[in-house]
Structure 1
Amino acid sequence: MGTQASGQGALWNSGAGNAWVEEQAVIDQMFRPIETLLVNAAASSAAARVLDVGCGTGGTTLALARRLGRGARCTGIDISEPMIASARRQAGQEGLPVDFVCADAQHHVFEPGTFDVVVSRFGVMFFDDPVAAFANLRQATRSGGRLHIVVWRSAEENPFMTAAEHAARPLLPGLPVRQTDEAGQFGFAREGRVRDIVTRAGWRDVRMEPVDVPCRFPESELIDYLSRMGPVGRALDSVNTVTREGVISKVRTAFNAFVSGESVSFRAACWLVSAQ
């Protein structure tokens, strides 16, 4: 989820943010094993105050609140108004002690030393100045507090996440080409870059563990997912019906390798990054 102020703000407060809200149930199901990794990490740190960065529609924040109980206070922050609104609705329905803040975590003024633990599920790769962002998160964390984040490894190691754009590019030649180290989904793919960012921001004892997480969701949701999410989903918003149908048909075929019966399955190649 986006946390950068300018271009990312426009992106996540329009079509991309609305698409995440509409696909919320599928995305939360898909990434539940990653959510579990983060919840377990926070619980093992005996956290009472937790910040979830780039919280999106709040799935991980709410899971933390359920696990940690009434004595804890969880806060989610994201730049996307549609996603924060959805997260607040869900928290209200469940009556959970959760706060959601619609703001850019790089610039938001947190009370110093507020949080025991900072977590993020794919929410920290979008900052325009990641060192400044992680320094801001560090000052919001108490002395001895912990950082636990999950980020994507490389695009090459995540063929499920790039299958749509590879298949669609001949029909959508204007699709953006991903650049190494740019803000975006795979911006934290390089281990050395991540270590440098987090260390320069003032965190210490930085540890990076490669994890390959099995993810799945129902095949019946695949067409909606591939036609709404990512670069291809955004591009389909501005093409004619014939082009749209042709792209969806071609992209769906590209996902055959990930479909078995009624399920879509893939492995998410990630880094689990921890620091103090």
Structure 2
Amino acid sequence: MRQVVNTGQAQAWNGYEGTHWARHQDRWDAVNEGFNEQLLGAAAIGPYDRVLDIGCGAGRTTRLAARRAVNGHALGVDLSAPMLERARESARRERVGNVSYEQGDAQVHAFEPGAFDVAVSRFGVMFFADPTAAFAHIGRALRPGGRLAFVCAAQAEGNQWLAAIAALRDILPMGGFGATGGPGMFSLADPDTVRGVLRAAGFQDIGTEYVEAPGTWGRDAEDAAAFLLDSGPGRHLMGQVGPEARDRARRRLVATLRAYDRGDGALRLRGNAWLVTATRPQ
């Protein structure tokens, strides 16, 4: 990467967090898969479009976009080298030829002005150090009249997996877990904030729609609890307490998740998000 301003995020996504996501690409895709059709449908990707996928991670949405832009091209950009390595492997395995990936900080990455028809992101735009500057930079990479569509985390209320984690407040040091503000998961959880940021960044025709989708977190309550607590945030919280508290947290989480375990080999939890659309002025 030639330039990075989101240094904390770069460290996280090239450390344990990024390695965990790369190693468990299929599981994380199963968690977020329900938002794909809503996102790509809102983006209205055409067969000749040039698509930019921001914070593409292991590249699932980039490849889906490339299949829609069958005579165009899709570029995925992310901070994480481990996840991009997995993305390139998956593209080769799936034989998606009109896709490429670059490691970079989308807030300052050297995009060619007006090079893209549409920019998309699935939960990849909440971590900018300066979101207004980042979206203005992304806007300049779009052609006049180009489209922006992304999903970002909504408030924790109504999100079943976040509610399950919040049930551990008396055991683990949650701090400001679920609070809006950023950069972080909930930096764009307030739709008024989203609209203000995008207007300041030069976008117009801004729309925000509340959406929900189920995600598969594991085979059963035990498997889903282990996965949640082994992820970056879960590992961070568990690392701040002793063995007894870790054991209590694990048992509590398993008990909480059993309410969602239907015994069919796939424990599903409802996620929520804002589906945001905007355009660059002509």
| Among 252, 255, 272, the residue aligned to 1:269 | 272
Identity among equivalent pairs (%) = 37
Q: Is 1:141 matched up with 2:137?
A: no
1:146 Cα offset (Å): 0.3
**C-alpha contact (below 8 Å) 1:51/1:76 kept by paired residues:** yes
Partner of 2:56: 55
Structure 2 CA distance for partners of 1:251 and 1:4, relative to 1, 3 Å: farther
Structure 2 CA distance for partners of 1:44 and 1:8, relative to 1, 3 Å: closer
Distance 1:95 1:4 in 2: 34
1:215 Cα offset (Å): 2.8
SS in structure 1 opposite 2:117?
strand
Distance 2:235 2:256 in 1: 15
1:162 Cα offset (Å): 4.1
Distance 2:254 2:103 in 1: 35
Deviations 1:240-272, CA, capped at 9 Å, x for gaps: 655544322222222223322233223222111
If the length of structure 2 is used for normalisation, what is the TM-score? 0.88
Distance 2:277 2:101 in 1: 23
Distance 1:25 1:198 in 2: 32
1:192 Cα offset (Å): 0.6
| Among 251, 254, 270, the residue aligned to 2:253 | 251
Distance 2:149 2:72 in 1: 17
Partner of 1:226: 228
Which structure 2 segments of 5+ residues have no match?
Answer: none
Partner of 2:16: 15
Which structure 1 segments of 5+ residues have no match?
Answer: none
Moved more, 131-140 or 16-25: 16-25
If the length of structure 1 is used for normalisation, what is the TM-score? 0.90
Partner of 1:160: 161
**In the TM superposition, what are the counterparts of 1:42-121 in structure 2 within 5 Å?**
42-45=43-46, 48-69=49-70, 71-96=71-96, 97-121=98-122
Partner of 1:33: 34
Q: Is 1:260 matched up with 2:259?
A: no
1:39 Cα offset (Å): 2.4
Aligned residues: 271
Distance 2:37 2:105 in 1: 25
1:226 Cα offset (Å): 1.4
Query: Counterpart of 1:208 in structure 2: which amino acid?
Result: T
1:183 Cα offset (Å): 1.5
Q: Is 1:198 matched up with 2:201?
A: no
